[in-house]
């Protein structure tokens, strides 16, 4: 039993010895490796630094410095030229835009001046046209005033001749219901002429006529002028203008007067015949 114990003890001794030796030697080995690594690192650093110094010394020559200087100058000049061209192009574009705007403003001012001048000319021509229209209307009125007494006298002569001769034929009575047609015909002729010359539409020419009549001292609206123009063209729902109403009234009065005159003439004729018999 004791022999087995000694054998086991003698068998484990080498392992324990090796373990103890490893434990003692491992720090020394580690320190050795660390020292070697540090030395290698230092040597590599020194070598790289030395090579860098050599490269710097190699590059630090007048030729290399001149090359870098020329390159820097060219690069700087190119950048400055690009910036200058950009600024110049921008300024040119801005100047061109300003000139375009000024040109547009000048064109608009010129057009406004032309429009103002045209309006002045149009107003002058419209004033002249309205004056001519007014004169034409007055002339037509005077002509009608001259014609009416002549026709009345002619009718009286015809009635007297009829009463004396006893003839059944007689001229027709004077009618005034179409008196507005003469005025309107002259109005329409001048109105349409101005409208065609100035290329106005109906509302524009009516407005201008109303304005010119107001300038002449009258008081009329555009709708009144338009109504006078249209109502004499389109007699809606049997519409009769004021002048035609006056004409109908005159016709009724003249008809009564003619009937009375005719009755008196007949009575006179009968009296004459009785006296003759």
Helices and strands (H, E) in the chain, number of each type = 6, 0
User: Which DSSP string do the residues of 176-234 spell out, in sequence order?
Assistant: -TTHHHHHHHHHHHHHHHHHHHHT--HHHHHHHHHHHHHHTT----HHHHHHHHHHTT-
What is the band of 215 on the pLDDT scale with cuts at 50, 70, 90? confident
| Residue 82 confidence (pLDDT) above 60 | yes
Q: What residues have CB less than 8 Å from 136, skipping those under 6 apart? A: 186, 187, 190
Q: What is the mean pLDDT of residues 187-216?
A: 86
Domain ranges for the chain = 140-156+173-262
* SS3 state of residue 38: helix
Tokens at residue 260, please? Answer: 């009375």
pLDDT surpasses 90 at 201? yes
Residue 153, pLDDT score: 46
Per-residue pLDDT at 189: 83
The pLDDT of residue 237 is 40
Q: What is the residue-averaged pLDDT of the chain?
A: 69
Q: Provide the pLDDT confidence category of residue 165 given band limits of 50, 70 and 90.
A: very low
Cα–Cα distance for residue pair 200/225, rounded to 1 Å? 15
Dist CA 184 CA 223 (whole Å): 16
Quickly state the pLDDT bin for 164 (edges 50, 70, 90): very low
118 vs 274, residue with greater confidence:
118
Q: Rounded distance, CA 154 to CA 185, Å?
A: 26
More reliable by pLDDT, 109 or 272: 109
> Among 167-176, 179-188, 230-239, which stretch is predicted with the lowest mean pLDDT?
167-176
Question: What does the block give as tokens for 120?
Answer: 């002045």
Q: Is the pLDDT of residue 222 over 70?
A: yes
Structure-token pair, residue 270: 């009968």
Specify whether the CB–CB gap between 122 and 198 falls below 8 A: yes
- Output the pTM of the full model: 0.27
Which pLDDT does position 200 carry in this prediction? 92
Model confidence pLDDT, tens digit, residues 6-39: 445 555 556 676 777 767 777 777 787 888 888 8
Phi and psi torsions of 240, nearest 5°: -125, 130
User: Between 79 and 28, whose confidence is greater?
Assistant: 79
pLDDT above 90 as % of the chain: 2
Q: Is residue 196 very low, low, confident or very high in pLDDT (cuts 50, 70, 90)?
A: very high
């Amino acid at each position: 039993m004791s022999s087995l114990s000694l054998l086991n003890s003698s068998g484990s001794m080498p392992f324990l010895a090796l373990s103890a030796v490893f434990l003692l030697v491992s720090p020394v080995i580690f320190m050795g490796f660390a020292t070697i690594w540090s030395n290698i690192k230092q040597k590599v650093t020194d070598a790289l630094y030395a090579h860098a110094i050599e490269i710097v010394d190699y590059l630090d020559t007048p030729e290399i410095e001149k090359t870098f200087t020329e390159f820097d100058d060219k690069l700087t000049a190119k950048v400055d030229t690009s910036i200058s061209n950009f600024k110049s192009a921008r300024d040119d574009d801005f100047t061109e835009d300003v000139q375009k705007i000024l040109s547009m403003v000048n064109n608009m001012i010129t057009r406004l001046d032309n429009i103002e001048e045209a309006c002045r000319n149009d107003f002058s021509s419209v004033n002249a046209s309205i004056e001519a229209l007014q004169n034409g209307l007055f002339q037509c009125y005077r002509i009608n005033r001259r014609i009416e007494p002549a026709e009345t006298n002619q009718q009286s002569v015809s009635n007297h001749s009829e009463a004396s001769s006893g003839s059944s034929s007689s001229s027709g009575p004077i009618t005034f219901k179409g008196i507005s047609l003469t005025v309107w015909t002259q109005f329409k002729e001048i109105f349409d002429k101005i409208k065609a010359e100035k290329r106005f539409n109906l509302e524009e020419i009516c407005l201008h006529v109303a304005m010119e009549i107001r300038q002449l001292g009258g008081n009329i609206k555009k709708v009144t002028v338009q109504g006078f123009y249209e109502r004499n063209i389109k007699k809606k729902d049997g519409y009769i203008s004021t002048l035609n109403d006056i004409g109908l009234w005159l016709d009724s009065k003249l008809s009564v007067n003619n009937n009375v005159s005719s009755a008196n003439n007949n009575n006179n004729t009968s009296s004459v015949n009785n006296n003759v018999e």
